Homo-oligomer: A and B are copies of this chain.
Amino acid sequence: MGQILTEKQQASLGSIAREVSLQRKVSVYEADSPAHSVFIVKAGMVKAFQDLSNGRQRVLAFLFPGDVFGLAEDGRYVNSTQTVTPTVCFKIPIDALTDIFLRDSELELQFLVKVTHELREAQRQQIILTRLGARARVAMFLRMLQRRHGNESSRIELAMSRTDIARYLGLSSESVSRAFARLSREGIVAFPSLHVAEIINRSQFDRLARAA
Protein backbone atom coordinates (compact mmCIF):
# COMPACT_ATOMS: atom_id res chain seq x y z
CA MET A 1 0.00 0.00 0.00
CA GLY A 2 2.16 2.89 -0.98
CA GLN A 3 5.24 4.67 -2.17
CA ILE A 4 8.73 4.43 -0.83
CA LEU A 5 10.10 6.84 1.71
CA THR A 6 13.30 8.70 0.98
CA GLU A 7 16.44 7.43 2.62
CA LYS A 8 16.60 10.57 4.69
CA GLN A 9 13.17 9.88 6.06
CA GLN A 10 13.97 6.27 6.71
CA ALA A 11 17.01 7.44 8.63
CA SER A 12 14.91 9.86 10.61
CA LEU A 13 12.64 7.04 11.54
CA GLY A 14 15.51 4.69 12.17
CA SER A 15 16.08 6.06 15.64
CA ILE A 16 12.74 4.82 16.88
CA ALA A 17 12.21 1.91 14.52
CA ARG A 18 12.95 -1.65 15.50
CA GLU A 19 13.81 -4.17 12.83
CA VAL A 20 11.85 -7.42 12.80
CA SER A 21 12.50 -10.49 10.67
CA LEU A 22 9.61 -12.74 9.76
CA GLN A 23 9.37 -16.10 8.04
CA ARG A 24 6.97 -16.65 5.19
CA LYS A 25 3.23 -17.04 5.82
CA VAL A 26 3.48 -15.43 9.23
CA SER A 27 0.88 -13.00 10.58
CA VAL A 28 2.14 -9.47 11.26
CA TYR A 29 -1.04 -8.31 12.95
CA GLU A 30 -4.71 -9.24 13.08
CA ALA A 31 -7.67 -7.06 12.16
CA ASP A 32 -9.39 -5.39 15.12
CA SER A 33 -6.45 -5.91 17.43
CA PRO A 34 -5.08 -2.83 19.24
CA ALA A 35 -2.77 -0.90 16.94
CA HIS A 36 0.56 -0.27 18.64
CA SER A 37 2.90 0.03 15.68
CA VAL A 38 3.25 1.13 12.12
CA PHE A 39 5.39 -0.96 9.78
CA ILE A 40 7.56 -0.30 6.77
CA VAL A 41 8.66 -3.17 4.56
CA LYS A 42 12.43 -3.33 4.27
CA ALA A 43 12.68 -6.54 2.26
CA GLY A 44 10.25 -9.24 1.21
CA MET A 45 6.54 -9.05 0.64
CA VAL A 46 3.41 -8.76 2.75
CA LYS A 47 -0.27 -9.03 1.92
CA ALA A 48 -3.06 -7.03 3.54
CA PHE A 49 -6.37 -8.87 3.63
CA GLN A 50 -9.73 -9.20 5.22
CA ASP A 51 -11.63 -12.34 6.11
CA LEU A 52 -15.21 -12.08 4.93
CA SER A 53 -18.26 -13.43 6.67
CA ASN A 54 -18.70 -16.18 4.09
CA GLY A 55 -15.32 -17.62 5.01
CA ARG A 56 -13.62 -16.22 1.95
CA GLN A 57 -10.68 -13.90 1.98
CA ARG A 58 -10.22 -10.62 0.17
CA VAL A 59 -6.65 -9.46 -0.52
CA LEU A 60 -6.61 -5.66 -0.42
CA ALA A 61 -2.98 -5.03 -1.27
CA PHE A 62 0.44 -6.53 -1.72
CA LEU A 63 3.16 -4.59 0.10
CA PHE A 64 6.67 -4.22 -1.25
CA PRO A 65 9.91 -2.73 0.12
CA GLY A 66 9.33 0.89 1.11
CA ASP A 67 5.60 0.46 1.62
CA VAL A 68 4.03 1.58 4.87
CA PHE A 69 1.29 -0.39 6.52
CA GLY A 70 -0.51 -0.57 9.83
CA LEU A 71 -1.97 2.94 9.86
CA ALA A 72 -4.95 2.33 12.08
CA GLU A 73 -8.38 3.77 12.67
CA ASP A 74 -9.70 4.35 16.18
CA GLY A 75 -6.67 2.63 17.64
CA ARG A 76 -7.36 -0.68 15.96
CA TYR A 77 -6.04 -2.28 12.81
CA VAL A 78 -8.68 -2.46 10.13
CA ASN A 79 -7.30 -5.42 8.24
CA SER A 80 -4.96 -8.35 8.78
CA THR A 81 -1.49 -8.67 7.34
CA GLN A 82 0.65 -11.69 6.66
CA THR A 83 4.02 -12.20 5.05
CA VAL A 84 4.07 -13.81 1.63
CA THR A 85 7.82 -14.35 1.54
CA PRO A 86 10.40 -14.14 4.32
CA THR A 87 10.30 -10.46 5.22
CA VAL A 88 12.15 -7.80 7.18
CA CYS A 89 10.13 -4.85 8.48
CA PHE A 90 10.78 -1.67 10.39
CA LYS A 91 8.41 -1.53 13.32
CA ILE A 92 7.59 1.93 14.66
CA PRO A 93 5.54 2.55 17.83
CA ILE A 94 2.61 4.80 16.98
CA ASP A 95 3.18 7.08 19.98
CA ALA A 96 6.72 7.76 18.91
CA LEU A 97 5.58 8.40 15.36
CA THR A 98 3.02 11.01 16.31
CA ASP A 99 5.66 12.64 18.53
CA ILE A 100 7.95 12.91 15.56
CA PHE A 101 5.14 14.31 13.48
CA LEU A 102 4.77 17.19 15.94
CA ARG A 103 8.38 18.17 15.40
CA ASP A 104 8.84 17.14 11.78
CA SER A 105 5.96 18.51 9.80
CA GLU A 106 7.81 17.65 6.62
CA LEU A 107 7.89 13.97 7.45
CA GLU A 108 4.24 14.07 8.35
CA LEU A 109 3.52 15.59 4.94
CA GLN A 110 5.39 12.70 3.35
CA PHE A 111 3.09 10.30 5.12
CA LEU A 112 0.12 12.27 3.92
CA VAL A 113 1.43 12.08 0.38
CA LYS A 114 2.03 8.38 0.78
CA VAL A 115 -1.44 7.64 2.06
CA THR A 116 -2.89 9.81 -0.68
CA HIS A 117 -0.97 7.72 -3.13
CA GLU A 118 -2.31 4.55 -1.62
CA LEU A 119 -5.76 5.94 -2.01
CA ARG A 120 -5.09 6.38 -5.71
CA GLU A 121 -3.90 2.81 -5.93
CA ALA A 122 -7.05 1.61 -4.25
CA GLN A 123 -9.13 3.62 -6.70
CA ARG A 124 -7.18 2.25 -9.61
CA GLN A 125 -7.83 -1.17 -8.18
CA GLN A 126 -11.53 -0.39 -8.18
CA ILE A 127 -11.34 0.21 -11.87
CA ILE A 128 -9.57 -3.08 -12.42
CA LEU A 129 -12.15 -4.92 -10.39
CA THR A 130 -15.07 -4.00 -12.59
CA ARG A 131 -15.82 -3.84 -16.25
CA LEU A 132 -12.66 -5.73 -17.06
CA GLY A 133 -12.48 -9.34 -18.16
CA ALA A 134 -10.37 -11.87 -16.32
CA ARG A 135 -7.43 -11.80 -18.75
CA ALA A 136 -7.34 -7.98 -18.72
CA ARG A 137 -7.29 -7.99 -14.93
CA VAL A 138 -4.46 -10.46 -14.92
CA ALA A 139 -2.57 -8.40 -17.47
CA MET A 140 -2.96 -5.26 -15.37
CA PHE A 141 -1.84 -7.18 -12.34
CA LEU A 142 1.32 -8.30 -14.09
CA ARG A 143 1.94 -4.75 -15.23
CA MET A 144 1.54 -3.54 -11.66
CA LEU A 145 4.08 -6.06 -10.43
CA GLN A 146 6.45 -5.02 -13.16
CA ARG A 147 6.13 -1.39 -12.11
CA ARG A 148 6.62 -2.16 -8.48
CA HIS A 149 9.77 -4.08 -9.16
CA GLY A 150 11.16 -1.06 -10.93
CA ASN A 151 12.83 -2.91 -13.73
CA GLU A 152 11.26 -2.67 -17.15
CA SER A 153 12.46 -6.14 -17.93
CA SER A 154 9.93 -8.46 -19.46
CA ARG A 155 10.62 -10.95 -16.71
CA ILE A 156 8.25 -10.72 -13.72
CA GLU A 157 8.56 -12.53 -10.42
CA LEU A 158 5.31 -13.86 -8.97
CA ALA A 159 6.03 -14.50 -5.32
CA MET A 160 2.41 -14.89 -4.29
CA SER A 161 0.19 -17.89 -4.87
CA ARG A 162 -2.42 -18.15 -7.61
CA THR A 163 -5.17 -18.15 -5.04
CA ASP A 164 -3.85 -14.91 -3.54
CA ILE A 165 -3.84 -13.35 -6.99
CA ALA A 166 -7.43 -14.49 -7.37
CA ARG A 167 -8.36 -13.04 -4.00
CA TYR A 168 -6.76 -9.77 -5.02
CA LEU A 169 -8.39 -9.56 -8.42
CA GLY A 170 -11.81 -10.60 -7.26
CA LEU A 171 -11.80 -13.77 -9.33
CA SER A 172 -11.97 -17.47 -8.62
CA SER A 173 -8.62 -19.23 -8.71
CA GLU A 174 -9.92 -21.25 -11.65
CA SER A 175 -10.57 -18.08 -13.62
CA VAL A 176 -7.06 -16.85 -12.88
CA SER A 177 -5.71 -20.15 -14.08
CA ARG A 178 -7.69 -19.95 -17.29
CA ALA A 179 -6.62 -16.35 -17.86
CA PHE A 180 -2.97 -17.34 -17.45
CA ALA A 181 -3.47 -20.26 -19.78
CA ARG A 182 -5.12 -18.09 -22.39
CA LEU A 183 -2.40 -15.42 -22.26
CA SER A 184 0.09 -18.21 -22.73
CA ARG A 185 -1.88 -19.84 -25.57
CA GLU A 186 -2.18 -16.50 -27.33
CA GLY A 187 1.56 -16.00 -27.15
CA ILE A 188 1.29 -12.81 -25.12
CA VAL A 189 2.89 -13.97 -21.88
CA ALA A 190 4.92 -17.07 -21.15
CA PHE A 191 5.18 -18.82 -17.78
CA PRO A 192 8.52 -20.61 -17.58
CA SER A 193 7.69 -21.65 -14.05
CA LEU A 194 4.89 -21.15 -11.57
CA HIS A 195 6.48 -18.04 -10.15
CA VAL A 196 7.84 -16.37 -13.24
CA ALA A 197 6.04 -14.57 -16.03
CA GLU A 198 7.65 -13.29 -19.18
CA ILE A 199 6.03 -10.85 -21.55
CA ILE A 200 6.39 -12.12 -25.12
CA ASN A 201 4.19 -9.82 -27.15
CA ARG A 202 4.68 -6.41 -25.60
CA SER A 203 2.25 -4.49 -27.81
CA GLN A 204 -0.60 -6.92 -27.28
CA PHE A 205 0.16 -6.99 -23.60
CA ASP A 206 0.14 -3.23 -23.32
CA ARG A 207 -3.12 -2.98 -25.16
CA LEU A 208 -4.70 -5.34 -22.67
CA ALA A 209 -3.12 -3.82 -19.58
CA ARG A 210 -3.63 -0.20 -20.55
CA ALA A 211 -7.41 -0.37 -20.27
CA ALA A 212 -7.58 2.04 -17.35
Contacts and interface: CB of A to CB of B under 8 A. Distances in A.
A36 to B, nearest CB: 16
Interface stretch (A84-92, A115-123, A155-163, A184-192): A115-123
Interface stretch (A17-25, A50-58, A139-147): A50-58
B211 A54 contact: yes
A179 interface: no
Interface stretch (A7-15, A39-47, A104-112): A104-112
How many copies of this protein are present in the complex?
2
Contacts of A56: 131
Nearest to A125: B126
Q: Which size class do A's interface residues fall under? A: 35 or more
Shortest Cβ-Cβ A-B pairs, 4 listed: A130-B170, A122-B122, A115-B115, A129-B129
Contacts of A52: 127, 131, 211-212
Contact of A50 (B79, B127, B170): B127
Contact of A108 (B71, B78, B108, B123): B108
A50 B118 CA distance: 17
A53 B211 contact: yes
A60 interface: yes
